[in-house]
Amino acid sequence: MKLRPWNNIKINECNEPLISIPDSIFRITPHPYMTLGAPYLNGADPWVLRESVLQRLIAAQQHLSKKNPNLQLALFDAWRPISVQKFMFNYSIQETCKSRGVDINDYSLIEDINEIIEEVSRFWAKPSSNPSTPPPHSTGAAIDLTLADTRGVPLDLGGEIDFIGDQSRPDFYKKDSLSEPFSLQNVFHSRRSLLCAIMEEAGFVQHPNEWWHFSYGDQLWSWLSRRGDAIYGATFDVSKDSTCSFPSLVT
């Protein structure tokens, strides 16, 4: 798999601690990856972020409340141990193969399998323990989130979080929203734009492939904002085994 352009960014670790996300920030429960059986070892808590990231998340919620008091941010995922990154990376490859009728154990389909691995890696960072290329969520700098109403019901933003495909691009509905201003596509684009504006106002950057993914202080943030070195590297859990389950399939 190819390195992403932001993986060349230097990390100057600032050693900020991970801080628990307060209950005032709504979260989608039960946690989706825990439900799938992802290994949060020794009671690892996904609902933590670096201190400055959390401060900006709280600020984003305040910005949203001022713009629309009927809405709130809805967290889907925050800090992700390497062990969970590995589990979800492999799970996504397996599920994508199943959905496309590709038998992952049939090595005569190696080209199809490798294409799926490459596509999945656009959305799921390789679970590397290399300190120079940490998966964004392992740094405590990245957040997956959406919008919800005040009852905690998530809004429809035109695509599921973690969907593998073009529909996940932040601007996927932009063209249709301009040509059809009263369409559902316009609603989706407006909601995605609101989420992005709120998060950017608080200092976050948005992942170019994922409408739900925002970060502050990691390599992606540094690359997009051009504000110098990244300040957060990976914060590892007790699992140091980050080898992929399909090493012979990874190019």
CATH number at residue 231: 3.30.1380.10
In a domain, 156, yes or no: yes
Number of domains composing the chain: 1
Q: Which residue range forms the structural domain that includes residue 137?
A: 5-241
In a domain, 251, yes or no: no
In a domain, 246, yes or no: no
In a domain, 247, yes or no: no
In a domain, 249, yes or no: no
In a domain, 85, yes or no: yes
In a domain, 47, yes or no: yes
Catalytic position from the list 51, 95, 115, 210:
210
DSSP code of residue 69: T
CA atoms 209, 213, 219, 222: torsion sign: positive
pLDDT tens digits in sequence order for the chain, 251 residues long: 567 889 999 999 999 999 999 999 999 999 999 999 999 998 899 999 999 999 999 999 999 999 999 999 999 999 999 999 999 999 999 999 999 999 999 989 999 999 999 999 999 998 988 999 999 999 999 999 999 999 999 999 999 999 999 999 999 999 988 888 889 999 999 999 999 999 999 999 999 999 999 999 999 999 999 989 999 999 864 333 333 333 333 32
- Quick check: 211 and 165 in contact, CB under 8 A? no
Residue with tokens 């599921």: 160
pTM confidence score: 0.91
Does residue 210 have an active-site annotation? Answer: yes
